[in-house]
Structure 1
Amino acid sequence: MSTITCQLLVIGAGPGGYVAAIRAGQKGLDTVVVEAERPGGTCLNIGCIPSKAVIHLAEEFHRAAELTHDNPLGISAGTPTIDLAKGMAWKDGIVARLTGGVAGLMKKAKVRVVTGRARFVDGKTVVVDTADGPVTIKPATTIIATGSEPVELPFLPFGERVLSSTAALALDKVPASLAVVGGGYIGLELGTAFAKLGAKVTVVEAGARILPAYDADLTAPVAARLKSLGVTVLTGTKALGLTDTGLKVQGPDGEAEIAADKVLVTVGRRPNTSGIETLGLTMAGPFIKVDARMRTSMTGVLAIGDVTGDPMLAHRAMAQAEIAVETAAGGRAEWDKRCIPAICFTDPELVTVGLSPAEAGDAARADSFPFKANGRAMTVGREDGFIRVVSRKDNGLVLGVQAVGAGISEMATAFALAIEMGATLQDIAGTIHAHPTQGEALQEAAHRALGHALHI
């Protein structure tokens, strides 16, 4: 058995792990990364990136299909067809470019990569089962960045008819009918995409409404759009299991069967802690408990990303990675973020940054501006949605921004920057916003909060 010693070991090369490795290499730390699959983790390989590619593919096909009918633009076109296998190959090409780029960046930073699955012997010894046999690694410091995996329901095990999000992103044919179990962001993103590709989609959600993590005002435009796309949404309904032709469910009116060639299960994700249990780390529920410097309860062992808790977002893992490397290098950086943007790539898209009106409480106010009064939204034919600003009543400090609208994800950074920089309503209202843009709705919401709305 070969043995490697290093200053820093990073287990997992997802967004958190590869950022940690690259930053450590830049700091001159002798760094080793262990990854069982390709660099990039879930996000680059089977999550964020491929799902957005499929969403774009579906949107382009849907637009083409809409032009076959009478439309206000006066454009007519022939009925489109789709070669989904070719589209998926295009998606795979994007993934390959990005994962190859990550591998190149780690090589540039002089990071050594060991391919295999890691398991702890103790806090200072890790064994990696590789294709060439076990390799022992003895690091001074370890960063655990093992991510998360889809939750599998015992009565709907993943297989030919029951799909995880990973399997759904690898289909080479559009199913005639698709049941989506779980009305959260993953289920609705993929469900919407397949509806646009021509599948008859039914969403089964056990809760009272879809996207329960968001308030009803934000989700209403999404629900309306789903209806217009022909998606059936069953709330207060639980999946019970497969039938010969579909999915058996229990709803408010009793048991029923939904026709479904495929069933997509998206009921959440769980942290991947396999191989870590030996350490006996202090946990916070199913997650590894860390402090503001990403330290676990064991000296020399740090943790970042999905394995440390919600929100399970790639950009959170990336931010934690930089702090963890500072800690490993003897620095004093600490987690001090006012907000973490969260985006739901449904149609329309949802963005939340900072505090919601409910979270801000009675000391705050919430003011919104609708896209139906925004010139740019009108010119692209998407007037659904709004931007809402949550601010303190006494001094106008911006506490949160929420938005729903077509393409609104691209404004998430601007929203977050305003909060991180301590912007007030006056700051936003006094900033010249380019016209005509959807971003003007942010300025208009600030004007409204200050009592001098201009365009509503």
Structure 2
Amino acid sequence: MVVGDLALELDTIVIGSGPGGYVAAIRAAQLGKKVAIIEKDNIGGVCLNVGCIPSKALINAGHRYLEAQTSEQFGIKTSKVEIDFAKTQKWKDEQVVGQLTSGVEMLLKKNKVEIIKGSAFFNDTNQLRVVNGDDAQSYTFKNAIIATGSRPIEIKGFKFGGRVIDSTGALNLKEIPKKLVVIGGGYIGSELAGVYANLGTEVTILEGESKILSAFDNDMIKLVVDNFKQKNVEIVTNAMAKEAKETDNGVEVVYEKDGKAETIEADYVLVTVGRRPNTDDLGLQMAGVELDERGLVKVDNQGRSSQKHIFAIGDVTKGPALAHKASYEAKVAAEVIAGKNAEIDYVAIPAVCFTDPELATVGLTEAQAKEQGFTVKVSKFPFGANGRALSLNQTEGFVRLVTEKDTGLILGGQVAGVGASDVVAELGLAVEARMNIEDLSLTIHAHPTISETIMDASELSLGLPIHI
């Protein structure tokens, strides 16, 4: 091993180059700090390389394939629709992931951020070393931002490898499976189940709870469940996965339902039961950085850990493991390091699941608002009454506004249906800006668009609906 003789001096160091790390590095550099970023794998982290971005690329490919086979009602007839999955994967890797990751690397260099390859380990409160193969170098730093993200949880009886795959494996399969078992019906499991169902795979979802997508309201979940049924996806709830046994031709999955052991055969089994923070191999105890019982870094409202010059953001801190949360926290941490009086003060974080149909929520649900003591009014406008949804032949879904009854203050909202991932942004702004229902109703929305459902729902809340 080649080790640097002396520790090199750094000003601000960022560990991890995902949506938290690279945003923190760029913002800190923009604010005048000299920044270095450490990355042991690929620039862009999990999200850009093996998460958010490639999964959406495959979701889009699945939609295109399905639409090519089911467009006869529009007068469009096709025959012998085929998919070259190797070409699909090449497009995903080169044209989508490759373009984004190279773009991020270019932005880091443009902002004069030094890129250091390797794994970082803290030696003490102001020093770390970076190991890259046979080489190692120590660095001292004034400020550090931990943005190392998270990884899939491996469960007993389902050791990753071979035909037992995690989300990364599912995104990089060489062929479309004939049969796929998905363990865990949360965001990732449901999205990837939808990808392969659209590509013609026979999918079974095993969910330990009484329903899939439990973070969403029941009427939203039902839309996804009904869509899965149309594609012959079997959903087994209250099912406890026990073991995976590889065979000559695939894998046998043993699970327990109502006290009875069941076996199902598949080409692959995808395990998506959650993620754990990447804090266990950083030497944080050497730096005196405190963790909670889940291995998350304890931080204040500026992102500072128990060591005030060491910050943590994204999946390694408390809260939902979402890329946009990490990016938001990244900007706050960078601004604090640059001497600005910034702090984390978001009212709501949007959450989106890219299923069929899409589901999105921001702020409080009806149940949450009532739990917090609000007198609540709920207004629900169906996509079936929206001209754009009709023209797209995607009328499943609705917009729901949750408001305080007396003041009309917008407490939260949910969108289920085509374009929900984009439409929810307006509701996020409304919640963050503490708008009331009249603010939405008086905003002129372009016609015909899905976003008009927001205006229609607000008029419904005022008791003055036009289109319902």
TM bin (shorter chain): over 0.9
1:345 is matched with 354
**2:275 alignment partner, one of 269, 272, 278:** 269
Structure 2 residue aligned with 1:220: 222
Return the alpha-carbon distance in structure 1 between the equivalents of residues 424 and 291 of structure 2.
Answer: 31
Whichever residue aligns with residue 35 of structure 1, its letter is E
- 1:36 corresponding residue in structure 2: 40
Please point out which of 267, 273, 293 is paired with 1:285: 293
What SS does the aligned partner of 1:19 have? helix
How much has 1:433 moved relative to structure 2?
1.6
CA positional deviation for 1:72: 2.3
8 Å CA contact 1:376–1:436 kept in 2: the answer is: yes
Asked if 1:56 corresponds to 2:60, the answer is yes
The residue number in structure 1 matching 2:328 is 319
Measure, in 1, the Cα distance between the counterparts of 2:140 and 2:461. Answer: 57
Which residue in the other structure is 2:441 paired with? 429
Who is 1:440 aligned against?
Answer: 452
Contact 1:316 1:340 in 2 (8 A): yes
1:301 CA drift (Å): 0.7
1:393: how far off? 0.8
The range that moved more, 347-356 or 372-381, is 372-381
SS of the equivalent of 2:55 reads helix
Deviations, residues 178-234 of structure 1 (Å, cap 9, x unaligned): 000000010010011001111100000010001011110111111110111111100
Q: Is the aligned partner of 1:387 residue 2:366?
A: no
Q: CA deviation at 1:152?
A: 0.7
Alignment-derived partner of residue 423 in structure 2: 411
Distance 1:253 1:200 in 2: 25
Contact residue 163 and residue 267 of structure 2 kept, 8 A: yes
Whether the 8 Å contact between 1:9 and 1:32 is mirrored in structure 2 is: yes
How far off its partner does 1:304 sit? 0.5
Structure 2 CA distance for aligned equivalents of residues 131 and 391 of structure 1: 56
Is contact 1:344–1:351 with CA below 8 Å preserved after alignment?
A: yes
- Aligned counterpart, 2:254: 248
Q: Supply the distance in 2 between the matched residues of 1:346 and 1:407 (Cα, whole angstroms).
A: 11
Q: How many angstroms does 1:285 deviate by? A: 2.9
Give the aligned partner of residue 19 of structure 1.
Answer: 23
Q: Structure 2 CA distance, aligned partners of 1:276 and 1:431?
A: 52
1:45-84 to structure 2, matched below 5 A, reads 45-67=49-71, 71-84=72-85
Runs of 5+ unmatched residues, structure 1? none
Superimposed CA distance per residue, residues 363-402 of structure 1 (whole angstroms, 9 cap, x where no aligned partner): 1221110111112111111111100001111110111010
Q: 2:231 aligns with which of 229, 232, 238?
A: 229
CA contact (8 A) 1:183 1:203 kept: yes
Q: Indicate if the aligned counterparts of 1:8 and 1:31 stay in contact, CA closer than 8 A.
A: yes
2:74 counterpart SS class: coil
Partner Cα separation in structure 2 for residue 276 and residue 85 of structure 1: 41
Matched with 1:258 is 264
Aligned residue type for 1:366: V
Deviations for 1:404-444, whole angstroms, at most 9, x for unmatched residues?
A: 00222111221211112221111111111222211111111
Distance 1:230 1:371 in 2: 24
Q: Is the 8 A contact 1:239 1:249 kept in 2?
A: yes
Determine if contact 2:27/2:335 at 8 Å carries over to the other structure.
no
Instruction: Give deviations 1:128-181, integer Å, cap 9, x for gaps.
Output: 002351111100011111100001112101111111000111111001100000
Picking from 97, 101, 107, the partner of 2:99 is 97
Mapped partners of 1:18, 1:313: distance in 2: 15
Cα distance in 2, alignment partners of residues 434 and 31 from structure 1: 43
2:419–2:450 contact (8 Å) kept in structure 1? no
Which residue matches 2:88?
Answer: 87
Alpha-carbon deviations, 1:266-299, whole Å to 9, x = none?
0011100021432342223321111111000113
CA distance in structure 2 between the partners assigned to 1:224 and 1:272 by the alignment: 36
Check the 8 A contact 1:14/1:40 in 2, yes or no.
yes
Give the alignment's Cα RMSD to 1 decimal: 1.2
State the identity as a percent. Answer: 43
2: CA distance, partners of 1:323 / 1:435? 37
Task: After TM superposition, give the deviation of residue 252 of structure 1 in Å.
Answer: 2.5
Q: d(CA) in 2 for partners of 1:442 and 1:284? A: 40
Q: Give the aligned residue type for 1:102.
A: V
* Residue in 1 that maps onto 2:408: 396
- In 1, Cα distance between equivalents of 2:292 and 2:160: 28
Q: Secondary structure at the match of 1:101?
A: helix
What code does the residue aligned with 1:281 have? V
| Distance 1:432-1:359 versus aligned 2 partners, 3 A rule | same
Count residues in correspondence.
453
Selected match of 2:308 from 299, 304, 317: 299
Q: TM-score, normalised by structure 1?
A: 0.97
Instruction: State how far apart, in whole Å, the 1-side matches of 2:97 and 2:8 are.
Output: 30
Structure 2 residue runs of 5 or longer lacking an equivalent are none
Q: Aligned partners of 2:266 and 2:134: how far apart in 1?
A: 44
1:297 partner letter? S
**Is 2:10 aligned against 1:6?**
yes
Counterparts of 1:80 and 1:291 in 2: how far apart (Å)?
A: 55
Contact 1:85–1:171 (Cα < 8 Å) also in 2: no
